[in-house]
Amino acid sequence: MGNGERIFITAKLPDYIRVGNGDDVTEKYLFLTTSHDGSGSITAAFTPIRIVCQNTLNASLRNMSNVVRIKHTAGAPQRLEDAHKLMGMANKLSKQLEDIFNQWAKVSVTDREVKKLIQLALCPNKETHDLIKKGAENELSTVFKNTVDDAFAYAMMSDTQQMDTTKGTLFGAYNAVTGYYQNVCSYKTDEKKLDSIVMGGTAQKRTQKAFELCSDFERIGMDVFNVN
């Protein structure tokens, strides 16, 4: 990446995250990136990828991050400790995400609720958020409305959104956002796409917001649309 000063590696982990009756399968990966000049640290992240549409479903739980940073200066004992921490994080997150996704696949949502969840997840600022809250959609920017429409179209029409696990479900609503950024949104380069989806860029922040909104929707239903 860049001019060659940054490198990344993906390592596939054994087993899968299985949703529904087993047809909807997500592979488990560790993503590691570092630099040749020794600056910064090695960043390792747990990044599940849904096979049917290559959606990166990386998410941090409220009490747990999906990222571990390893210092270049660490000695062998510290590196072993970091490796154990990394694998423990991956194992725990994969089990928790499997439970969450299977529960979401049982929660029904209407098309209107899906669009509202998409609007709130993709919301770029407080001004837009306030307009959504008061229902002033005619005052939203054309760029934002077009982005929401594209994500909603993906939610309604993509083949991978017509499965038992995704059609009319909360899991499908979450996948509408991840799928938009993975398969619909345009990026200037593959590197910018990687940075946006995996390296803490806009796509990762928006999909994390979608994850949190879906978690809240499961807990309190439509009241999530009224929470500031």
pTM assigned to the model: 0.89
Q: Is the pLDDT of residue 120 over 90?
A: yes
Q: Are residues 123 and 165 in the same domain?
A: yes
Residue 174 lies in a domain: yes
Residue 1 lies in a domain: no
Per-residue b or e along 144-171, where b marks 16 or more CB atoms closer than 10 Å to that residue's CB: beebbebbbebbeebebbebebbebbbb
Its domain, for residue 166, covers: 108-226
Among the candidates 72, 103, 134, a domain finishes at 103
What's residue 27's pLDDT? 94
In this prediction, residues 98-110 reach a mean pLDDT of 96
Q: How far apart are CA 202 and CA 200, in angstroms?
A: 7
Residue 151 lies in a domain: yes
Q: Which long-range contacts (CB under 8 A, 24 or more apart) does 205-208 make?
A: 206/121, 206/122, 206/177, 206/181, 207/56, 207/57, 207/58, 207/59, 207/121, 207/177, 207/178, 207/181, 208/59, 208/60
> Strand 24-35 vs strand 49-50: parallel, antiparallel, or unpaired?
antiparallel
Span of 49-53, 73-77, 135-139 with lowest mean pLDDT:
73-77
Q: What is the per-residue pLDDT across 18-45, written as a single tens digit (0 to 9) for each?
A: 999 988 999 999 888 887 766 667 888 8
> 135: left (phi > 0), else alpha (psi -120 to 50), else beta?
left
Span of 37-41, 48-52, 62-66, 106-110 with lowest mean pLDDT:
37-41
Q: Is the pLDDT of residue 64 over 80?
A: no
Q: What is the per-residue pLDDT across 146-187, written as a single tens digit (0 to 9) for each?
A: 999 999 999 999 999 999 999 999 999 999 999 999 999 999
If pLDDT is split at 50, 70 and 90, which confidence band does 227 have? low
What's residue 141's pLDDT? 93
What's residue 74's pLDDT? 64
Q: Are residues 88 and 112 in the same domain?
A: no
Q: Is the pLDDT of residue 215 over 80?
A: yes
Q: Are residues 34 and 69 in the same domain?
A: yes
